[in-house]
Structure 1
């Protein structure tokens, strides 16, 4: 039998093998026809390219170009199969196969020394190792449960796995309730896995989405999607519906600046979303960003402005409070500061700004 006949026979066997493997997935007739046509197209094109382009098998350039063409076709083939039939192929395995094929081609056609061949082997091992390392990282809550929560010894071990802001919410009592369900050999048999996601929006509403994969096509699909009622959403909400404020130094003041702070009055933002902080800042700008407001309050500050008085400046901080700065030589008079605060607080209250936060500091 000639080499050409042998090649045709191998192609037919490969095609039939592909059809057999695919039919084992119990596809519908339409899916089977699509797959058969795509497979025939890929195999036929590969055969023609191999016959008419790869005439010199000892040409490194031709071999690598042929491998590249085959790789592109196979990747397009895998995407088409997934879109048409829902069957997903592992693209990383396909990429790894063609990388290995390219390395072996270099090995065969180039005159490498022993240590250079060792480098090629090391490259292949590194690629395989990186793929194994990446696939080992948990990507779902269930994988994290299986890899990290199994056989945890105590409450502290779980705290190490929690986001810092949520650690105070997980108590030893919570651990005691969960402990029977953390052992993979538990009596309570695991039934199913689904992935819950919560979307928190600017207006405070919470949307819950539950997804899982269907066994038939391994596609991610929704089990449920709904707007959570307030009594449920409040449990999962990270940011409060209203800005939380307290009488304290404003947040994010660096240590070096604290020595310049004379006094703070009012309630500063302690917990709020970025949207809420921006909304609060916009409100301050609306009331105190106009020259009219400062002109109206000017007579209250008579005699305090530099150069006659100690006040060096005033304004609105982008962190959400008013600030007044005084020269370092000024002997602090708490009554003066209190009078300034009362006037601006009352003005703010008339414009729907309660507990106006104000920072008095020395000019640095």
Structure 2
């Protein structure tokens, strides 16, 4: 069996095993699994409103997954997507609140501000990795907390002195559209899904069709060989983290300019950045795989909200299923071993 077919089968089998074990847990704990999954499906795709909300949830997942995957593909572990997302969110909202401009200028400016903020935040671990060999996992985890508390401080003291949230952004900076509202019964779906799809194409093009992308992958694969071949290893490490951070910042813009339209003090992390790790893992760090994984995760997250209402099944069970899927993907060695054995039996 070809390695390419195995790469496709591993996440598919991981999803099936996660759902299977989750079903068994539902039955053991006394819940109606069939009713639970019907409620899950209807909560994600049952009508135009739920469909719009599902697309809205998928959008930042795609971008967060791209951020994680881009770093992985170039040999880096960007665990700081959550923090980069938060600073991107704040930057987008600040531009959306502070300026009065025509929409054709204001909206792109707010989106670009988010990408720049995320890129700048990711530059820090990239620079420390390239210059001083400081491991990016440690730095990015620490910067998640730094981003959370700094943005909370800025919201409280600079952008909103009397409350724990900023003003709503100007209409000229909003990603929302009457077109989607009328199409999806006033869901919060917005134009960000097009930005996410464009970013999927951009990532594919950079990594597969450009010399710079080849260098980034080469440096990630073997820094010493890349340096011997004349590539600037330090510059490529920084560039990889910057591009990854830009994707993460855009994920924050989707929340700030689309879903919510403001920035609020957060008692904890949004979770989107951390879910992006699971999305990238399930999607095998490929652009198309990330889109499919984001669709799955977004559907599960939105559909789960309907499970307690319609079937009396706790939506925490969906989190268990997601965790099981990630577990089985992480245990892909066992799945590959089983696939190989079945493949050999089929050949006989």
TM-score relative to the length of structure 1: 0.19
Larger relative contact order (CA 8 Å, sep ≥ 6)? 2
More strand per residue = 1
Rg larger for: 1
More helix per residue = 2
